[in-house]
Amino acid sequence: MDEFQSGEETAFVVDEVSTIIKESVETAIGGNTYQHSRVNQWTTNVVEQCLSQLSKLGKPFKYIVTCIIMQKNGAGLQTASSCFWDNSTDGSCTVRWENKSMYCIVSVFGLAI
Amino acid sequence: MEEYHPGDEVAFNPDEASNCVKECIEGIIGGVDYSQNKVNQWTATIVEHSLTQLVKQGKPFKYIVNCAVMQKSGAGLHTASSCYWDTTTDGSCTVRWENRTMYCVVSVFAVAVTL
């Protein structure tokens, strides 16, 4: 009888989530140049793509995915997050991506049910 | 014996959270200009204060508070978020604030805890 369960299925795995985010961003905005008229659609695509891949993992988690796209213009941008949760089961992962014309920052927060 | 309990105590109240956050922002960056060497400290303070105020409300929620501060220099900024949760109990609110030199966007996500 297996008594030791490593808890793989119920822990937030940062590496796995990080890979999902990177693929989603590449797919959604991979070779594009910042365009004001399309950025709305891009942020939506990135978060939806991430969320659908995450829910496919089938883990007992609630997810929050946020995406920021900023044009490269010399402006300064600073973001911070603070979380009040259960440290043993919940986690987050943030991926910073950029190309020649824009920055994209995606954060995923996973909270165990 | 009271059998009917309205869900007030366990539903996320976005207006209350929004007011709480606005006060925090005003208190921290209210009259100041964007400063690269202070912005790190500002974002950290805003999220910490907001979180502390929210937790003081004593509701059975886990919270995530996210803050972005951007210098006004003509760049375009777009944010989006998507959530996979229980829509009857969980919720979010986003506050957009600005002054002459910067924008501040704070998002609060509240996820109900089943005790």
A96 touches chain B (CB under 8 A): no
Chains A and B form CB pairs within 8 A to the count of 146
Substitution target in A35, A77, A92 with the highest count of B β-carbons within 10 Å is A77
- Other CB atoms within 10 A of residue A9 CB: 11
For range B59-70, the mean pLDDT: 93
CA-to-CA dists, residue B39 to A71, A113, B99, B114, angstroms: 19, 35, 14, 36
Distance of CA B84 to the CA centre of its chain: 18
CA torsion, points B88, A69, A82, B21, in degrees to nearest 10? -70
Residue of A nearest to B39 (CA): A78
Q: In chain A, pLDDT over 90 holds for what percent of residues?
A: 76
Give the per-residue pLDDT at B115.
72
Per DSSP, the three-state class of B100 is coil
Split at pLDDT 50, 70, 90, the class of B100 is very high
- pTM to 2 decimal places: 0.82
- Cβ atoms of B22 and B44 within 8 Å: the answer is no
A1 vs A46, which has greater pLDDT? A46
- Compute the C-alpha angle A99/A104/A105, nearest 5°: 140
Helices A39-56 and A14-29, packing angle to 10 deg: 140
The model's pLDDT over A61-99, given as tens digits with 9 standing for 90+, comes to 999 999 999 999 888 889 999 999 999 999 999 999 999
Within 10 angstroms of residue A11's Cβ, the number of other Cβ atoms is: 16
**Structure confidence at residue B6 (pLDDT):** 47
